[in-house]
């Protein structure tokens, strides 16, 4: 093989390898960074915990809807169990409720939803 042809093959291979690396990194980054947490669904267990606390399924549904839609207007959806109940109720929710201009019913439903999800998680961890 002559030297010129070898260089062309080497360049083509290098470009192909670089392209493959860029494409694979790009798809990995997209799946890593574009993946958002999902609001936990309203299950029978979640509903049972809410009802024991005197709340309705409608309240849970409203809280989930607010969490899924209003909270994502400014940032990615957060995973509820990543933060403590105190952090949610005393640090994040008061500030975010004002910023999102939540109505009192929306704010209340959001608190109920988050509190209920956290309680379900605790029950699952400590049966």
**Model pLDDT, residue 28:** 41
- Kindly state whether residues 97 and 120 are assigned to the same domain: yes
Tell me how crowded residue 110 is: count the other CB atoms within 10 A of its CB: 25
Assess whether 28 and 77 both reside in one domain: no
Domain count for the chain: 2
Same domain assignment for residues 97 and 56? yes
In the prediction, which pLDDT does 26 show? 43
- Give 125's pLDDT tier (boundaries 50, 70, 90): confident
Structure pTM? 0.69
Decide: residue 73, CB within 10 A, 0-12 exposed, 13-18 middle, 19+ buried: exposed
């Amino acid at each position: 093989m002559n030297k010129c042809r070898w260089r062309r093959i080497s360049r083509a291979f290098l470009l192909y390898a670089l392209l493959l690396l860029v494409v694979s990194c790009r798809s990995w980054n997209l799946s890593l960074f574009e993946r958002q947490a999902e609001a936990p669904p309203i299950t029978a267990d979640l509903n049972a915990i809410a009802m024991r606390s005197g709340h309705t399924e409608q309240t849970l549904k409203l809280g989930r809807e607010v969490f899924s839609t209003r909270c994502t207007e400014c940032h990615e959806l957060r995973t509820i169990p990543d933060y403590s109940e105190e952090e949610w109720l005393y640090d994040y929710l008061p500030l975010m409720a004002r910023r999102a201009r939540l109505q009192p019913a929306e704010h209340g439903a959001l608190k109920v939803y988050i509190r209920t999800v956290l309680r379900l998680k605790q029950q699952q961890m400590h049966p």
